[in-house]
A and B are shown apart, each in its own frame.
Chain A
Amino acid sequence: MIRILRQIFTTGIVTEDVLGQEEAHIKVVGDRLEEAVKKRFRGSLAIRQVDAGSCNGCELEIHALNNSIYNCERYGIHFTASPRFADMLLVTGPVTRNMEIALRRTYDATPAPKLVVAVGDCGCNSGIFGETYASLGGIDKVIPVDAYISGCPPTPVALLNGILRAIEGK
């Protein structure tokens, strides 16, 4: 136990403020994000992530949002297990034919008003997988999308930026 405590105290808080270039970016984006979440969602934005066919690269970066460095919870953003509690769906793609029904059901299960953000090049326009018998294309081919985050995969900062754009309605 003493080792655990020592490790916790020597690690300290690693969540980033203003350091390098990328971190400065986090600070700018983060402050606005916190402000927007406070104003529009009473300080708490619940996100349900849906993998509608991604290669799992985007999932790795969305995971990184939760690590102690990006620490998205400080802005009031948290990931929820059920679409019933969600304000926003963060959807990676391309939408496969085999996931289409599950994605529609998840969308329907999310209470309105809701935001949908398409993540990654494949989520935006189906990327390298194209539109085929198995891949239906970008997320907006199946459900309405409010904001797009491109990148293969988008970095955690790009994700935070995209979430900000979605809640600011730009």
Chain B
Amino acid sequence: MSLLKDAIISALGEDVRFRENYQHPASVVFCTVPKAKFTEAAKAMKRSYALLAAEWATEETPWFGIFACYRWGSEYLIVKTVTTMDDPAFPTLTKKYLPAYRFERQMNSLMGVVPEGHPDLRPWLKFEDWPQDAYPLRKSFDASKPMPRVEGEYRWSRAEGEGVYEIPVGPVHAGIIEPGHFRFQAVGEQIINLEERLGYVHKGIEKRFESMRWEDGFRLAGRVSGDTTVAHSLAYCMALESMSGFVPPERACWLRALFLERERIANHLGDIGAICNDAAFAFMLYQLMRLKEGILRTNSELFGHRFIMDRIIPGGVAVDIDVKGKEKILSELKWLEKEFEKLVTIYDENPSLEDRVRGTGVLLPEKARELCAVGIVARASGMNLDCRIFNPFTPYDQHDRIEMDVPVLVTGDVHARTWVRIHEVRESTRIIRWLLDNMPDGNINGTIEPPSSEKAGFAAVEGWRGEIIYWLQSGPEGEINRCMVRDPSSVNWLGLEQSIPGNIVPDFPLCNKSFNQSYSGHDL
């Protein structure tokens, strides 16, 4: 029995309709409501403590479909409503759910649907020099042609008063980092407001999916955010497999979990080092990058790619592991643990580092909840969320055997986000060992049929940043009608913006690094 389903039935009664055999996997509840009841559905979800996981729009001529996906514990519920193409308005969810603020700006910019009552409809991802009527996700839009540049201006939020000044930063930053623009309003050293402007690396990924074949999409998914290539292609493949009703061989699932955990370790090592580096403790960066390089080389040796890119394919995985490979990983883990623990002790016993990371960039638990944060950011701010526990695929669903121990901290500062990563490296090391010791024999992939027409698939995977959601929809001809990608960064960037006021300008890089959100995964 689904708690969210009960809640929406008792709130909307006859107005809510459930569509069977449309949404896959069947564990995800899918319902449609009249447009006028869209907000009421959100209210019912809010009352049930559900969080907004994603909001997006589709074109299903002559309608626009508006979708909101809610999550509570291990339940996902998708509410759909429709609006006509002549009158593409729908009621905003921003009054109930804060993350709807960016989701709806994005829907408005790329699909041209209008959230009525939204407080701030400045374009998002779409820049001011795009033609006004360019809505790339609409079917009538010709994506193959470049767009002319037009005159336009972006209205920044402003601060006034004695001693207030602004610092614009980016899009090209000082380091080897992705582009984005940050505008600080400060008094003295203290930041009073931060406004993010993202969208610089908007590559039209969601539109690009629509011109691809089902079996090729995983490659594009693997390049949505290069550092999360495993988790993204996995989420795509799982959503596709759910639509086709295909269950991958067990060994394939275990190998997928192995790749996922290796990706987590590699990225966390880099992040912990980079956070310390931004607190002027370069020693840790060089030590941890050395460990990370070890992991990447083993990946390359055993799986043929340093980031294990394109090794997760629809139907399973492309590469197996043999006894020698297993031994190689086990001995590497031994080395890694020993080296890592020495460095953790150094991190933990360094007062000057502690001084920088504690109480800096605090995202309070109540704020994180309001923002529906996910992943490491959420777990550092008191929210117990992890798809590996709440929405597990094999072998994570064997809770009694795997005994996952995911840390949740409450202080929400840079230290908490670092410490969550440290714990997760330890935990992933343990999981990898368990995976290798218990991995079943068998095939590593199978043949998957393309899905039939008019279906939808869903997958949520815990990448190293957090929950990644893919929602796929097949059109009348069985083609990809829509591929919605929700990287954890799509929601967590708001968390960074909210954690900055009150900090001093020189601490911004440190805070930013502790969030380390993906620009590419956000901009799509």
Task: Give the interface of A toward B (CB within 8 A).
Answer: 3-4, 7-8, 11, 14, 49-64, 66-69, 79, 81-83, 94, 96-99, 102, 106, 127-136, 152-153, 155
Contacts and interface: CB of A to CB of B under 8 A. Distances in A.
Contact of A60 (B307, B345, B519): B307
Contacts of A69: 289-290, 293
B248 interface: no
Q: Indicate the member of B172, B207, B292, B519 with the most A CB atoms within 10 Å.
A: B172
B141 to A, nearest CB: 7
Given A82-B174, A94-B203, A134-B143, 19 more contacts: A7-B343, A14-B290, A55-B223, A57-B226, A57-B227, A57-B229, A62-B176, A63-B270, A64-B289, A67-B292, A68-B286, A69-B289, A69-B293, A81-B174, A97-B147, A127-B223, A130-B208, A131-B146, A132-B203
A96 B293 contact: no
Given A8-B283, A56-B520, A135 B203 contact: yes
A129 B220 CA distance: 8
Contacts of A4: 283, 346
A136 B146 contact: yes
A98 B201 contact: yes
B5 to A, nearest CB: 37
A3 B346 CA distance: 7
A56 B203 contact: no
Contact of A67 (B141, B203, B289): B289
Contact of A152 (B146, B309, B342, B349): B309
Contact of B208 (A63, A81, A129): A129
A102 B175 CA distance: 15
B200 interface: yes
Name the 8 nearest CB pairs between A and B, nearest first: A57-B226, A134-B204, A81-B174, A67-B289, A55-B226, A55-B223, A56-B226, A49-B176
B287 A11 contact: yes
Contacts of B289: 63-64, 66-69
15 contacts: A3-B346, A49-B176, A51-B177, A52-B179, A55-B226, A57-B229, A57-B309, A60-B307, A66-B176, A69-B290, A97-B147, A102-B171, A127-B223, A134-B203, A134-B204
B225 interface: yes
Given A7-B343, A49-B176, A136-B146, A129 B141 contact: no
B178 A56 contact: yes
A60 B343 CA distance: 22
A55 B229 CA distance: 9
Given A55-B225, A96-B201, A133 B172 contact: no
Contacts of B518: 56
B177 A59 contact: yes
B144 A50 contact: no
Contact of A99 (B201, B290, B300): B201
A69 B519 CA distance: 27
B468 to A, nearest CB: 14
Contacts of A94: 203
Interface of B: 127, 134, 136, 141-147, 171-172, 174-179, 199-205, 207-208, 219-220, 223-227, 229, 270, 283, 286-287, 289-290, 292-293, 296, 300, 306-307, 309, 342-343, 345-346, 349, 518-520, 523
Given A51-B177, A56-B226, A57-B229, A133 B145 contact: yes
Contacts of B287: 7, 11
Contacts of A52: 179
Contacts of B283: 4, 7-8
Contacts of B177: 51, 59
B457 to A, nearest CB: 21
Given A7-B343, A134-B203, A135-B204, A56 B174 contact: no
B203 A53 contact: yes
A133 B141 contact: yes
B202 A98 contact: yes
A102 B134 CA distance: 22
B306 A54 contact: no
Contacts of A130: 208
Nearest to A152: B309
Contacts of B136: 133-134
A132 B207 contact: yes
A105 B283 CA distance: 35
Contact of B201 (A54, A68, A82, A128): A54
A54 B144 CA distance: 19
Contacts of A67: 286, 289-290, 292-293
Contacts of A81: 174-175
B170 to A, nearest CB: 9
Contact of B226 (A14, A60, A79): A60
B227 A56 contact: yes
